[in-house]
Amino acid sequence: GKFMLLRDTRTDGSFLVHHFLSFYLRAGCKVCFVALLQSFSHYSIVAQKLGVNLAAAKEQGQLVFLESLKSCLDLLFGEEEQPGQPSPLQFLSGSTCDLRALFDFVQVSLTPCARDSWKGLVLLVDDLSVLLSLGAAPVAVLDFIHYCRVSVCCQLQGNVVVLVHSSEDSEDEENELVVNSLCHHSDLILWAEGLATGFCKDVHGQMKIIKRLSLRQAAEQDLVQIYQYKIQDRNVTFFARGLSAAVL
């Protein structure tokens, strides 16, 4: 029942999404993946490198994949994916301003049935900032995440993993409002940051791991750990600051 926030600044944190997707599928969990950024083929190619077959997981019912790029086109050009059923991205049509249809999609996808034997339930969103770019209001996005936390984390005892982009000097006040609000409600924050010194071939960025102990016990202080990392073809190497191959 944890809510995990993946946050990136001055870098691309999508490698974290690929890690959690392959990790939960290998662990035997059922995953509802709301892919707002890339196509199914993109995630499938990366997952193959990590030893996971997304197409097979989808056929077996372990992976429920919302390909938002295709859903947007179907909605805008008047083609229903399943006749009689509203699109999860119904708010794009202007008929509604909330994300109830998207929440209903998540709830239906993760509601367990009698024959299910999954070891856990997971909602994965990549990336939440896209909803704001598509015209959803910050309040609607935060309401959507709130109801997902109540449904998935509290009622179903599953996990929610969400990626958001942020920028310390951004003029996008709506996005920063959403990011800051999500940080206050997260059990764990994985914050990928680009190096302030610029590009380095041996160090691709810095990872700040924030365990929100204060969320559970008011008197506790959050535990913060900082590592540097290098992204390789099939994995990511983490090391303490100053201990990269460039230094040693």
Domain count within the chain:
1
Task: Give the per-residue pLDDT at 83.
Answer: 55
In a domain, 182, yes or no: yes
Residue count of the chain, please give it.
248
Task: Give the per-residue pLDDT at 184.
Answer: 92
Question: Could you say which residues of the chain have pLDDT below 50?
Answer: none
In a domain, 85, yes or no: no
For the stretch 27-84, pLDDT in tens is 999 999 999 989 999 999 999 999 999 999 999 999 999 998 888 777 777 665 555 5
In a domain, 234, yes or no: no
Task: Give the per-residue pLDDT at 224.
Answer: 94
Q: What range defines the domain where residue 166 resides?
A: 2-75+92-187
Task: Give the per-residue pLDDT at 97.
Answer: 79
Q: 197: which 2 tokens? A: 């010194």
In a domain, 126, yes or no: yes
Task: Give the per-residue pLDDT at 191.
Answer: 96
In a domain, 157, yes or no: yes
Task: Give the per-residue pLDDT at 72.
Answer: 79
For residue 121, what is the domain's CATH number?
3.40.50.300
DSSP codes, 155-202: IS--EEEEEEE--TT-S-HHHHHHHHHHHHH-SEEEEEE--TT---SS
Task: Give the per-residue pLDDT at 28.
Answer: 95
In a domain, 53, yes or no: yes
In a domain, 213, yes or no: no
In a domain, 109, yes or no: yes
